[in-house]
A and B are shown apart, each in its own frame.
Chain A
Amino acid sequence: MRLGPVGGLGVLLWGLTMLVLRRPWEALALLLILSLVLGSWRVVARLVAPLILLTWGLLSVIYGVWESLETVARLAVLALSASVGLSRVSPIEFSRLLLAIGLPPAAAASFAMVHRFLDHLSTLVYEARDALAGRGAGGRWSALLRLPIPLVVHSFRSSALIAEAVYFKPPSRESLRRLGRIAGPWDLPLLAALGLASLALVLWGSH
């Protein structure tokens, strides 16, 4: 199932609201179910879970295993609501939502550009790894230390060029408006279900 921009932003805001209400465990449970429903569990398993476990490991050393659990749960809610909410949303459609909220076209389009650039960066990592290996500098650990240098230089060069292009020819309001819909067919039913499930869990927990 694919979410529209309203659904993605809704999931993100819902996650933040649950944190403000001090309900991280309920939010975490619902987010895990949601990741299965939306098909974004791969992102959760491969990207978010290892980072959360790593953070938990570090915090455990400083504060203890159980003492750090609540903090880790809060971080997990933040990371999951962002990844579950936004990983299935088309970035260019999300830009259109930002435009509808009132952001200027160049700022609204920047979300899609950053998203696209991150995608490009993952390709670039493999290219830089092969480039270093091609000159005999690609040992497993030494390459890890060397990789950031060409990557950072390339990123700065590219971002300067893109910023220049956007400055001289910013995307027009009309061109962004033509790109897809703001809300997908499942956005509102899913947000309503999420709200009801949270309410049920909160009421059940208070008894």
Chain B
Amino acid sequence: MVPHAGEPIVAVAVLEDVHVEGVLRGVSLALEGGVLGLFGRNGSGKTSVLRVLFGSLKPSRGLVRRPSRVGASWQNPYLSFYRPTIMDELEAAVGSRERARGVLEELGLGDRGGDSPFKLSVGQARLLSVRLASLWGPELVLVDEPTTGLDRVEKRRVGEFLRGLGIPVVMASHDPLFVTEYADRVAYMEGGRVLWVGEPRPLLERLEGWGAWP
């Protein structure tokens, strides 16, 4: 999302010099909308940044400014389901059966409304979990490792889905191709620090230069 000329950039969330003991060592980020990809190897601190933004991890030092309503879909999408059928989950989220049917079609699950959400494949469960995270009116949606266990086709669906949500998204992923394809901006993390923030394409060249291509 690029602001019009003269329009001030309003940050959705801001992290300033955030420290979490043993995990984050001075992370500063400003989220301005669109999709921000947090990219880095396992243990680089991506999930911790998401948890700080979500409010479930308190920093030992630094400033956090985040919206009051933050939606999230974590690594295990099945943990966010608790109703008997997919239709029940959506109906409870949107308030009417008619609208729930529309969301069901949008997710490509038109004929699965009567099934248990626990019977969905990982990719389908991920889509449903992200959609549920975005339906209750959050100002920011966090998605942790959206591509785990997905094939190429499912990755594309999830990526396009995230871009089309219309809500600022922060996604953490260790998949460089996915991040550079679907994020508007990328923050590269290593050892609990953000080493680089910018447009996705130049990141690929830099990664090769740093010898950090996973």
Contacts and interface: CB of A to CB of B under 8 A. Distances in A.
A150 B82 contact: yes
A135 B93 contact: yes
Given A127-B74, A149-B82, A150-B81, A134 B54 contact: yes
A128 B132 contact: no
A134 B78 contact: no
Interface in A17-35: none
Contact of A127 (B70, B76, B129): B76
Interface string A144-171: 0010011001100000000000000000
Contacts of A132: 79-80, 82
B113 interface: no
B71 interface: yes
A146 B54 contact: no
B54 A130 contact: yes
B82 A137 contact: yes
B71 A134 contact: yes
- Size class of A's contact patch? 10 to 19
A153 B82 CA distance: 9
Contact of B74 (A134, A146, A149): A134
Contacts of B133: 134-135
Contacts of B135: 135-136
B196 to A, nearest CB: 28
Nearest to A127: B79
A134 B82 contact: no
Contacts of B82: 132, 137, 146, 149-150
Contacts of A124: 79
Contacts of B78: 150, 153-154
Contacts of A135: 71-73, 80, 93, 129, 132-133, 135-136
A136 B135 CA distance: 9
Given A135-B93, A154-B78, A130 B136 contact: no
Given A134-B74, A136-B71, A146-B82, A153 B118 contact: yes
B56 interface: yes
Interface in A114-152: 124, 126-128, 130-137, 146, 149-150
A134 B81 contact: no
Nearest to A146: B82
A130 B56 contact: yes
A134 B76 contact: no
Contacts of B158: none
A132 B56 CA distance: 13
Nearest to A151: B79
A130 B138 contact: no
Contacts of A128: 79
A154 B56 CA distance: 22
Nearest to B80: A131
B142 interface: yes
A128 B80 CA distance: 7
Contact of B72 (A126, A133, A150, A153): A133
B93 to A, nearest CB: 7
Contacts of B79: 124, 127-128, 131-132, 150, 154
Contacts of A126: 56
Interface of A: 124, 126-128, 130-137, 146, 149-150, 153-154
Interface of B: 51, 54, 56, 69-74, 76, 78-82, 93, 118, 129, 132-133, 135-138, 142
Q: In the A-B complex, list the 3 residue pairs whose CB atoms are closest, starting with the nearest.
A: A134-B72, A136-B136, A131-B79
24 contacts: A127-B74, A127-B76, A128-B79, A130-B51, A131-B74, A132-B79, A132-B82, A133-B54, A134-B54, A134-B71, A134-B133, A135-B80, A135-B133, A136-B69, A136-B71, A136-B93, A136-B135, A136-B138, A137-B80, A146-B82, A149-B82, A150-B78, A154-B76, A154-B78
